[in-house]
C-alpha cells in the first residue's frame, strides 16, 4: 500500500538509530509510526531498491496479534519510508531498563508474557 506523505500530520521525531529516524504522526486520524530509512542510495542501488520492495511486500502480507500492523510505504525526499501502527510506551529496551522511579517495576509474570508474545510473533514470521 502506497502512503501519500501529504496525508501525514503532526510529525514528531521520537527516535533515531543507525539505519532510520522514527517519528510519530497522524494518518487518517490514527497514530502511526513513520520510519524514514537513512539509505538514500536505495534509489540509486537497484539491488537495495529490490530488497526494500520485497520487504514492503512481505510486511503487507503479514497479520498477527503479536506483530505491529504494517500500514504502507512511500518515498519522502528520495528516502524510503515505512508506516506502521504506533505503539505507545517507547521501545522494549526503555520499558525494561529505563523505567522512571514513579512507575512500578515490571513483574516476573509480565516479563514472561512479553517473552512469550515476542516468541509467538517471531515464530509466526519465520514460519511464513
> Quick one: three-class SS letters along the chain?
CECCHHHEEEEEEEEECCCEEEEEEEECCEEEEEEEECCHHHCCCHHHHHHHHHHHHHHHCCCCCCCCCEEEEEEECCEEEEEEECCCCCCHHHHHHCCCCCCCCCCHHHHHHHHHHHHHHHHHHHHC
Same domain, 58 and 106: no
Q: What mean pLDDT comes out for the span 61-81? A: 89
Comparison of pLDDT for 121 and 56, the residue scoring more: 121
pLDDT digits (tens, 9 = 90+) for 88-119: 877 788 777 776 666 778 889 999 999 999 99
Same domain, 82 and 123: no
pTM to 2 decimals? 0.79
CB atoms within 10 A of CB 25: 19
| Sheet with strand 8-16: strands edge to edge | 8-16, 20-27, 30-37, 79-85, 70-76
Counted domains in the chain: 2
77 has a pLDDT exceeding 90: no
| Torsion angles phi and psi, residue 112, rounded to 5 | -60, -40
Same domain, 98 and 115: yes
Domain around 98 = 89-128
The C-alpha cell at 127 is 514460519
Same domain, 8 and 64: yes
Same domain, 62 and 100: no
Amino acid at each position: 500500500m502506497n502512503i501519500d506523505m501529504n496525508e501525514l500530520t503532526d510529525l514528531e521525531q521520537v527516535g533515531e538509530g543507525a539505519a532510520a529516524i522514527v517519528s510519530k504522526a497522524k494518518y487518517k486520524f490514527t497514530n502511526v509510526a513513520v520510519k524514514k530509512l537513512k539509505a538514500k542510495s536505495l534509489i540509486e542501488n537497484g539491488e537495495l531498491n529490490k530488497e526494500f520492495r520485497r520487504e514492503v511486500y512481505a510486511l503487507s502480507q503479514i497479520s498477527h496479534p503479536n506483530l505491529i500492523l504494517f500500514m504502507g510505504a512511500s518515498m519522502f525526499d528520495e528516502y524510503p519510508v515505512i508506516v506502521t501502527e504506533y505503539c505507545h510506551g517507547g521501545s522494549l529496551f526503555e520499558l525494561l531498563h529505563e523505567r522512571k522511579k514513579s512507575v512500578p517495576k515490571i513483574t516476573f509474570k509480565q516479563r514472561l508474557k512479553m517473552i512469550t508474545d515476542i516468541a509467538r510473533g517471531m515464530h509466526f514470521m519465520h514460519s511464513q
